[in-house]
Structure 1
Amino acid sequence: MTRFTTNRRTFLKGAVATAGTAVVAGCNDDNGNGNGNGDDDGNGNGEAAIEPGTDIRFDGQTAGWEGLEPSEIEGEQNPTLVLEEGESYTIGWTEGDGSLHNIEIRDDGGDVVDDLQTDEVDDPGDDQILEFEASSEMAEYVCDPHETTMVGEIQVE
């Protein structure tokens, strides 16, 4: 056992490195790639199974899509939406931060699926809602102007 007085500098370095590791460890998602925050308390990007026929609504914030409804995504940022193949849903944003946003559904290659995209506007309304039938080619919902922060995964089962 190392005593505090034998090598104080080394002891402090080790303590800082250990504390830093603990903080970083909490930032990993289930894949260990550092994209989540390691929890499901409304601040991460947890998965939400969405019932067919559900209206999915977001608050468009440049930092990310914030879930408004259904309750499974309320307060979640960029939640993963688990949808049933062949079932109908609506998705869109009804609140925003005043910046230009749109919503698109893309495949895993980054291409818009079946023209499911809206125009870029700074004030959301009925024209920012997409009606669709879930298909296996759907991989993510994205705001084109903010595609690095306003992006969430779609899993179709």
Structure 2
Amino acid sequence: MTRDNPISRRTALKITGGAAATALVAGCNDNGDDNGGDNGDDNGEDGVNIEPGTTIELDGQTAGWEGLAPSDIDGETNPTLILQEGEDYEIGWPQGDGGNHNIAIRDDGGEVVDDLATDETTDDEPGDDQFLEFTASEEMAEYVCEPHENSMDGEIIVE
């Protein structure tokens, strides 16, 4: 510290230490809930358990996939879906913002899994809703809209 600086070295250290302590406490907010949050599973994963055989409906919004059904994802943006390996599901979007969208299921390397991708389309023509039927496998990592993959990207966890 220079003599011109009105804050002494001791005061500066106190301020820095206080800020660090506040940041540390803010990052350690354990609410005592063993499932990682309101929509978590028993393994501490944050997401929504989806029952086998469920149709997962999303609203195609350029800002992000908005959950419609099942009710556990209603209103959630890009909800994390927890699926059971070897079980059948359906995912898609029956409505959207009129933009050009599709839906694809990718692995953690960004590759489409088992050709699970639809063609790009808008939702303003009747019959343009898009759904994929699939069996959950451990290589599945995300569902995306390829034209908007930076904003319309939700995680898939397969257990």
Taking structure 1 as the reference length, the TM-score comes to 0.72
Q: CA deviation at 1:62?
A: 0.6
Superposed CA RMSD in Å reads: 3.3
Residue 79 of structure 1 corresponds to: 79
Equivalent residue number for residue 47 of structure 2: 47
Indicate yes or no: 2:157 matched with 1:139. no
Q: Counterpart in 2 of 1:152?
A: 154
CA distance in 1, matches of 2:157, 2:106: 12
Superposed displacement of residue 66, structure 1 = 0.4
How far did 1:95 drift?
1.1
Partner of 2:61: 61
114 and 57 in structure 1: CA distance in 2 versus 1, 3 angstrom threshold: same
Once the two structures are superposed, the pairs formed by residues 63-142 of structure 1 within 5 Å of their partners are 63-123=63-123, 125=127, 128-142=130-144
Q: Give the letter for the 2:131 counterpart.
A: I
Identity level (%) = 65
| 1:127 Cα deviation from its structure 2 partner | 5.2
How far apart, in 2, do the equivalents of 1:134 and 1:64 lie?
A: 22
Once the two structures are superposed, residues 34-85 of structure 1 have per-residue CA deviations (whole angstroms, 9 ceiling, x without a partner) of xxxxx759xxxx5100000000000011110000000111111111100000
- Taking the aligned partners of 1:121 and 1:68, their CA distance within structure 2 comes to 19
Number of aligned positions between the proteins: 137
User: Secondary structure, in 3 states, of the residue corresponding to 2:72?
Assistant: coil
Letter in 2 for 1:147: E
Aligned-pair distance for 1:126?
6.1
1:105–1:141 CA contact under 8 A, matched in 2? yes
Post-superposition Cα deviations, 1:76-115, rounded to whole Å, max 9, x if no partner, equal 1111100000000000001100110100000000000000
In the alignment, structure 2 segments of 5+ residues that lack a partner are: 1-5, 28-36, 40-45
Query: Is the contact between residue 59 and residue 65 of structure 1 (CA under 8 Å) also seen in structure 2?
Result: yes
Question: Structure 1 residue 122: deviation in Å?
Answer: 1.1
